[in-house]
Structure 1
């Protein structure tokens, strides 16, 4: 089979490798129909961290057809179409029993980092009963692929944590795919949503999909106060400090962005303003809810997809994804 293999700083290869096989009785093998890319691979690709080992098949997002199941698999059959969650979990360890699947002692965020991932024609998924969700053939590939990571990230970190009843205005910091997924999910609440970012084309698209206003963060003074501020950037770019400046008295800050170093936490200011702060990694426990919403046409995740590619264009797709004007790309095998 062919797979996208990490070869070190600024080097990946779409090349032939060995097909996966069942290793544990809880495993399944999935023939990949299509996959998408995550910004989680920016830093390893640029040589800025070592979370991905050399010669690992990359990827934690994918949709496909089950082609083999281990002897202990109960809920899946060969031929089932599934969306693969980015978190692998055993469902029996102390953290899984608390629904903290990302901290699973036997799994967690391992696809494409500790074990071979989804950017391949076939992938082995440990704990198959728990780590994928069955989907119908009527769900389009572009919609289904957003179930792996970006959509549950937004849903679990925002929709499941916030009571929108007493919120009048919302700020999204970050004009990337996570910020856009947040917008698509909160549009139903008919709140005034402003978006702060650096890319004019992306900000225009946010406005097209329902944002009240897109602001260039480099040119805008942060003098508007918001009941809810959702930080979707992370790293060390000052966006958490920005969120603290923008939040209104008695407001809420949610930070979804992944940080690679400590940030300034103005506790004395937040305490005095009675601010609530939420943060945390997704646990992919809401896929059934999101599938229902897609089937009912309540949301259209394919609006996150900027470009589509085929199996002969994998490297071009990865290069396109690095473009700052791109939200998500889809590769159909």
Structure 2
């Protein structure tokens, strides 16, 4: 992982001066989405890069040890070996960026990855995911439980009420306590941007989360009505850029929710390259939260190698 974000003192003056030009953000977001698609070898290379940045996720009420085990195997072998050989990429150690599960399934994932000799980190959602409305003491206990079970990354959710009421000091203190509870585990802070009311609030919440020590900021839980969108992403990555310029720490970015196609993945990579630069195009600083995206990426790589699209049974998914 990248160097940890140590955070900084809460700067209310900086936060109070934030103004987001929404029409300009929307124009820029539209521009990014109309980029020409990559083709042939370039597309395959970028898609493999996207695979290494995926947090392969299962967050369902019917999760069992067996489907978590299958997810871990897929995380270690995300693309069929024969396809990688055709691209001369079979010896590059391509895996997904992490496996993401509920706290109760962390031990299953950790044990499976240990058994298959794979060092992919296990990420766990916590803090009353997805609403974040449980009491703080319980949210902190949930973080500690996931860490004790072996999670190396914790995806926390903020209390959106504090953002909507402009209670930045309270939000800062809560995220700081979550950071302390994470210990050595990296903390990814989910803003729930679809429920924050405005792009200005998104920017302010991003700043507060980074000031409080977040190693990543993440758009959404995937459970909201509106999840990862490009206008919201632009606001967040520019907050990341501003924070780096002023404080000196690189904070990671993770869009999540509704990212299902290989084309979507390429657009997200393009956004990061253009707004933050190549230094952010690695799993230490960029992740894609997804459960079905990998299937379409593997399908597109299959088409690149064979010239045809695979039947469903030819590309089994975890």
The structure with the largest strand share of the pair is 1
TM-score, L = length of structure 1: 0.25
TM-score by length of 2: 0.25
- Higher RCO (Cα < 8 Å, 6 or more apart): 2
